[in-house]
Structure 1
Amino acid sequence: MVNHTQPSTPSYKSLLSHHLKNRRLDEARVLFDQIPVPDVTLCTMMVTGYARNGRLGDALEMFYEMPVKDIVCWNSMVKGCLDCGDLDMARKLFDEMPERNVVSWTTMVSGFLQFGRVEIHGQIVKVGYHFDEFISVSLITFYANCKQMENACKVFHDRMHKNVVVWTALITGYGSNCKHEDALKVFGDMIKIGVLPNQSSLTSALNSCCGLEALDRGKEIHSAGIKLGLETDVFVGNTLIVMYMKCGNISDGIAIFKHIDEKNIVSWNSIIVGCAQHGCGFWTLTLFSRMIRARVDPDEITFTGLLSACSHSGMLQKGRCFFKYFSQDKSMVKLEHYACMVDVLGRCGKLEEAEELINDMPIKANYTVWLALLSASRMHSNIDVAERAAKHIFDLEPHCSAAYVLLSNLYASANRWGDVSRIRGKMKHSGVVKQAGSSWVTLMGLRHEFLSGDRSHPFSEKIYEKLDWLGGKLKELGYVPDQKFALHDVEVEQKEEALSYHSERLAIVFGLISTVEGSTITVMKNLRVCGDCHSAIKLIAKIVGREIIVRDSSRFHHFRNGNCSCGDYW
């Protein structure tokens, strides 16, 4: 007969995780003691929880009482000893381990180096262990974590490796140090010598494609995954979703998500956050409903994605509802969620409500929360709220260039040139440098970057010739430059020329003259796309009959046939 009052094993795991996450160790132990037959996973959770919170004695006592210990549990206990500062106990446990894997070696090697035993690599070489592939992986990983890729390469080149795990360690190391071209070169070399990639190597290579925003190369690696039968693997699939979404290809990202066999929380979060970034508010909410029906518990990342979707789609009431729902669990709401909610309210013009939310926060707002309010104030031309928000930002982060620029631009759009001069003088005096606006296109693995008015590119003559042609076509369609986005006190003709040569327009035109007719052009920009360029690009997409995708600092814009996916709300 089933005891309906006794929680199921998944329920125990969820409750235990919740207690441990919130450092309620005694409550976790009371719950643990109620479990009739705790499995190795639940025991490991409890042991790890004790160790992470400094209660090493309790952790060791429970560990040695466990009837069954898997390698995950052993590794967790070794790391727990190191986290608590007991190197000798960590070494004792390491020596007692019935089997070791790459995590075991990496943890122990890192532990020796963490405690100043800097001759560990030399000792490993002396005793001949450096030919052990697990140790090679551990050393490569350690040097990569220390940003010493030259030493990581030396370890790798000590011998010719056929083990994919060693290759993966080097690929991952390059990627974690933002050396994405090197990572992809190693991945290519690995395949050339006949070492087949696994889940981890594919994932690391795809992460480097994300870093380079290289969609074509990502597709090549995706093809390799298909040939190996890994296209439906959850880890590879999750990374493919992120890669396609970050590179502007939302349709392929959704298709990958649909084909993953067993979706986990990362799968759901990746697609929800991706759709939010592309402004697909309806899709985001639909996916969240399906996630709940699939009995996958949302987490902090899900919360961020939902609020972001509400912000970009103007869904004020939905945003309020989500914030209220998640706020029931105080541990769920972080500063980033307050910043998102301020953005939701601010974009909808609810500046007073947004400011009130900040003032009523149970935790002190950081500068990013106030920056969200300042950005909304700039959008709605509210100088009073902007000045109050800026004051808080400068108190918290005196060198925040974005705050100076937003306030200066707000004054400029109101023709308060004296205040503009004052803010720029303050920036100069404080040594604050404005981030230059730039846009880029990645073609055939090469990144072509442009600044406003840039004439340094080899194709500059053709780019400006095409721009002038487009300028004539734009006027035929009734386009008139919006001079409030020309943020300098100069003559009308100079303002119009400055707007015409913004970096995103140069990048788009380069894409037009460098790709085949009818193909999609994807442009990345480090700052928010200006309102005048947004109006112009809608018409340019109509003139050339192409889809133009622009990712600015906050979201993706898909321009087609005179319209934008954002509905002019961004």
Structure 2
Amino acid sequence: MPNYVVPRCYISRSIIGLARFYRVASPTCYSILSEHLKNQRIDEAKELFERIPSPNIYLCTKMIAGYAENLRLNEALQLFDKMPVKDTVMWNLMIKGCVECGNTEMGLKLFEEMTQRNVVSYTTMISGYLKFGKVEEAESLFSEMPQRDVAAWNAMLYGYFENGRVEEAVKLFELMPYRNVISWTSVISGLDQHGRSDEALLIFKKMVNFFIEPTSSTFASVITACANARDLGLGSEIHACVVKLGYQYDTYVTASLITLYANCMRMNDSSKVFSERLHINIVVWTSLLTGYGLNYKHKEALKVFGDMIRIGLLPNQSSFTSALNSSCEMESIDLGKEIHGVAVKLGLNTDAFVGNSLVVLYSKCGNINDGLIAFKEIPEKNTVSWNSTIVGCAQHGFGNWALTLFAQMVRSRADMDDITFTGLLAACSHSGMLEKGRRLFQYIPQSSSIEVTLEHYSCMVDILCRSGKLNEAEDLVKSMPMRPNLSIWLALLSGCKKHLNLELAERAADNIFHLDPNCSAAYVLLSNIYAFSGRWNDVARVRGNMRRRGNTKQPGCSWVNQMGIRHTFLSGDTSHPLSRRIYEKLEMLTEKLKEYGYVPDQRYALHDVEDEQKEVLLSYHSERLAICFALITTHGSAITVMKNLRVCGDCHSAIKLIAKIVDREIIVRDSSRFHHFRDGFCSCSDYW
């Protein structure tokens, strides 16, 4: 006779029938109920439970626990109220359910109604208070405890660290009459998480001296502390100890070891730890993925991400964040979009951390519109979400958008920080909004506890210089309460180049060379100012000083990223395999430019040579070669070119016309900002 598999639903119904028939709950009924609760089939468990006529206290306790664990607090309370007899275990379980569901008021009410409280009752309430940041209430209850076991002390210790009360946690640890391995591990982990990794390692050494045997959690915490402290020596010793004790295959220990070697720039060792066994845990894979990113091995990082997908391991928020960051560093919007698609399928694109990474990716790769869409899809925006989007708008010259976002940020009562105002001031600078920039700068010290930083002063100097207020900018620098740094003087010197103020330029350069005699950017800027003014003897003098100090001018280069491959071009470059076609395209465009009335601005040649040679030098600038390469290798879509230096005025004029000639959007990111060229115009309105 063939064997048939009886469906689970028929078994459940049969058990229910037996229970009704015998008016008792059989052992099988207990096991079915437990299985339902274990697998979170709470409705099936409820149906079975309600058919049992006289459930005992054990069954009721299990059912209350099931309701509480599944955040069905009202049903748990209803069943609890029906119980004629309640033991201490049930009271504690109900209190725990209340605090885990966030209803500490109900938990306290039950706690106060208890006639026989024990140490577990107190500890449960204390943990609940600390979980929701009610530190003072937890302290008060802790002080009232008639007796305290080590679990109660550990609850306070852990809660202090979780709420950022590091000093109180350290003092409590010193007062503890008895400490177990959990106590020591909590202190090691807590100190490390609050940036005190060196102290965490000292605690571990003290723990070893007290002959406390570490657990896998202890090792994971102390190895993470070694990673954050970049202590490779101690980390390697602990690794050897971990192997001897057989903890090397623990998931979190493995992940910590991978992070240790990655942080210490030993990716070969990280990879070796990873390859010692087949891992199916996302934490381990994400540690390797993040480690490659930290070591600027972004291709390897993305390969790890791809391997995760191929073996069927679903990435988590951290995995997506690391993969998107690597795509961003590679400036590969194509790969980033593929990762974005996977995040959408898994429903993680709206996670704040993933969403923030998407905003940064699209903004840095030239697509601010998609960055704004990613921002809007984040339901719970944090400070990083707002800052990333504001900074992105600033980089693209959309100052009004940045200010609109700031107004929304104020209305939503989101926390602001110094980065918020740095982004806003940069937006005003790139959009020529002088008065709004002034008001924002004055608003910073009034808004909150945020202090005006050197970065804010640098942005304000830049705003004034771009608006031609050079004297006001110099006065602001002189009135600063802190010493101006290189960034501020360079902003002033750059403004002198735009408005050809030689006297102020020389004063700014003197201050720069006093701070850093080898600042190559200052030499180049001063040399260019002299060249613009036709003072070629001064140009030769500055360049001679630069050579004598061993400084060299950073060569201008531009690049285009296509499917993760970077194509780089220098001025007059002929090394690319497609050089012949690139120069043919360039010659064709040069002829077209003349038909549209383009006349080269020879001031930007910056060399004392004949006019014809200046024209040739200008036409072979790296950004033009990169644009021609993109034109012959792509069709119809927008072209994005990256440049390491600021785009020159002549190329800026030429690219506006090229965009009109080829009828395509051309996006150029230089060292200052993004330029969106379309139909003969640029998004910067010729203000950069």
TM-score (norm 2): 0.73
Identify which range, 436-445 or 122-131, moves more after superposition.
122-131
The answer on 1:460 being equivalent to 2:574 is: no
* CA distance 1:370–1:209, shift in 2 (3 Å): same
Structure-to-structure mapping, 1:143-542, within 5 angstroms = 143-328=261-446, 332-516=451-635, 518-542=636-660
The answer on 1:44 being equivalent to 2:158 is: no
Q: What is the Cα-based RMSD across aligned positions, in Å?
A: 3.0
Residue 176 of structure 1: CA displacement?
A: 0.8
SS of residue paired to 1:231: coil
Identify which range, 91-100 or 502-511, moves more after superposition.
91-100
Structure 2 counterpart of 1:343, one-letter code: D
Structure 2: stretches of 5+ with no match in the other structure: 1-132, 141-155
Residue 178 of structure 1: CA displacement?
A: 0.8
* CA distance 1:122–1:49, shift in 2 (3 Å): closer
Task: Determine if contact 2:227/2:263 at 8 Å carries over to the other structure.
Answer: no
Structure-to-structure mapping, 1:86-125, within 5 angstroms = 87-90=201-204, 100=217, 104-110=221-227, 114=231, 116-117=233-234, 118-125=236-243
Residue 428 of structure 1: CA displacement?
A: 0.6
Which of 54, 75, 80 is the matching residue for 2:189? 75
Residue 43 of structure 1: CA displacement?
A: 3.6
- The structure that has the greater radius of gyration is 2
Residue 79 of structure 1: CA displacement?
A: 5.6
SS of residue paired to 1:453: coil
Task: Determine if contact 2:528/2:539 at 8 Å carries over to the other structure.
Answer: yes
SS of residue paired to 2:553: coil
Structure 2 counterpart of 1:428, one-letter code: R
What CA distance in whole angstroms lies between the structure 1 residues aligned with 2:591 and 2:261?
57
Structure 2 counterpart of 1:136, one-letter code: T
Structure 1 counterpart of 2:560, one-letter code: V
Percent of pairs identical after alignment?
58
Q: Which has the higher contact order (CA 8 A, sep 6+)?
A: 1
SS of residue paired to 2:641: strand
SS of residue paired to 1:89: helix
Task: Determine if contact 1:345/1:354 at 8 Å carries over to the other structure.
Answer: yes
Q: After superposition, what is the alpha-carbon deviation per residue over 1:513-549, rounded to whole angstroms, capped at 9, x for unaligned?
A: 1101x21000000000000000000000000000000
Residue 507 of structure 1: CA displacement?
A: 0.3
SS of residue paired to 2:510: helix
* CA distance 1:442–1:108, shift in 2 (3 Å): closer
Q: After superposition, what is the alpha-carbon deviation per residue over 1:456-506, rounded to whole angstroms, capped at 9, x for unaligned?
A: 111111111111111111111111000110100000000001100100000
* CA distance 1:443–1:108, shift in 2 (3 Å): closer
Q: After superposition, what is the alpha-carbon deviation per residue over 1:410-461, rounded to whole angstroms, capped at 9, x for unaligned?
A: 1011111100000111011000111110000011221100001111111111
SS of residue paired to 1:130: coil
Task: Determine if contact 1:79/1:90 at 8 Å carries over to the other structure.
Answer: no
Task: Determine if contact 2:216/2:247 at 8 Å carries over to the other structure.
Answer: no
What CA distance in whole angstroms lies between the structure 2 residues aligned with 1:472 and 1:261?
52
What CA distance in whole angstroms lies between the structure 2 residues aligned with 1:198 and 1:107?
20
* CA distance 1:97–1:310, shift in 2 (3 Å): farther
* CA distance 1:375–1:62, shift in 2 (3 Å): farther
Identify which range, 56-65 or 193-202, moves more after superposition.
56-65
Identify which range, 103-112 or 136-145, moves more after superposition.
103-112
Task: Determine if contact 1:48/1:80 at 8 Å carries over to the other structure.
Answer: no
SS of residue paired to 1:230: coil
Residue 84 of structure 1: CA displacement?
A: 5.9
* CA distance 1:312–1:339, shift in 2 (3 Å): same
In structure 2, the partner of 1:3 is: none
* CA distance 1:113–1:454, shift in 2 (3 Å): closer
Residue 103 of structure 1: CA displacement?
A: 6.7
What CA distance in whole angstroms lies between the structure 1 residues aligned with 2:191 and 2:216?
14
What CA distance in whole angstroms lies between the structure 1 residues aligned with 2:358 and 2:418?
22
Q: How many residues align?
A: 534
SS of residue paired to 2:248: helix
TM-score (norm 1): 0.87
What CA distance in whole angstroms lies between the structure 2 residues aligned with 1:408 and 1:59?
62
Structure 2 counterpart of 1:319, one-letter code: G
In structure 1, the partner of 2:20 is: none
SS of residue paired to 1:369: helix
* CA distance 1:439–1:485, shift in 2 (3 Å): same
Residue 90 of structure 1: CA displacement?
A: 3.7
SS of residue paired to 2:480: coil
In structure 2, the partner of 1:132 is: 250
Residue 380 of structure 1: CA displacement?
A: 0.9
What CA distance in whole angstroms lies between the structure 1 residues aligned with 2:197 and 2:172?
12
* CA distance 1:330–1:340, shift in 2 (3 Å): farther
What CA distance in whole angstroms lies between the structure 2 residues aligned with 1:520 and 1:374?
34
Structure 1: stretches of 5+ with no match in the other structure: 1-31
What CA distance in whole angstroms lies between the structure 2 residues aligned with 1:122 and 1:71?
19
Task: Determine if contact 1:105/1:135 at 8 Å carries over to the other structure.
Answer: no
Structure 2 counterpart of 1:313, one-letter code: S
Task: Determine if contact 1:526/1:552 at 8 Å carries over to the other structure.
Answer: yes
Structure 1 counterpart of 2:375, one-letter code: F
In structure 1, the partner of 2:50 is: none
* CA distance 1:513–1:311, shift in 2 (3 Å): same
Structure 2 counterpart of 1:128, one-letter code: G
SS of residue paired to 2:278: coil
* CA distance 1:57–1:225, shift in 2 (3 Å): closer
Structure 1 moving runs of 4+ over 6 Å: 38-42, 62-65, 68-74, 92-99
Task: Determine if contact 2:201/2:222 at 8 Å carries over to the other structure.
Answer: no
Task: Determine if contact 1:378/1:406 at 8 Å carries over to the other structure.
Answer: yes
Residue 363 of structure 1: CA displacement?
A: 0.9
